[in-house]
Amino acid sequence: MIILTESQFNEIVDHAKKQLPNEDCGLLGGIIDENKKIVKKIYFLTNIDKSPEHFSMDAKEQFSAIKDMRSNNFILLGNFHSHPNSPSRMSEEDKRLAFDKKLSYLILSLAENEPILKSFKIDENKQVEQEELQIK
CB count, 10 Å around CB of 134?
Answer: 13
One digit per residue, the tens of pLDDT, for the chain of length 136 reads: 999 999 999 999 999 999 999 999 999 999 999 989 999 999 999 999 999 999 999 999 999 999 999 999 999 999 999 999 999 999 888 888 888 889 999 999 999 999 999 999 998 888 899 999 999 9
Q: What is the pLDDT of residue 125?
A: 87
CA–CA distance, 60 with 21 (Å, rounded to integer): 23
Residue closest to 67 by CA, chosen among 27, 8, 121: 27
pTM for this entry: 0.94
Q: Classify domain 2-135 at the CATH topology level.
A: Cytidine Deaminase; domain 2 (3.40.140)
Q: 36-45 and 116-122: which strand pairing?
A: unpaired
Domain ranges of the chain: 2-135
Q: What is the pLDDT of residue 56?
A: 93
- State in Å, rounded, how far the first CA of the chain is from the last one: 13
Q: What is the pLDDT of residue 100?
A: 87
Q: What is the pLDDT of residue 31?
A: 98
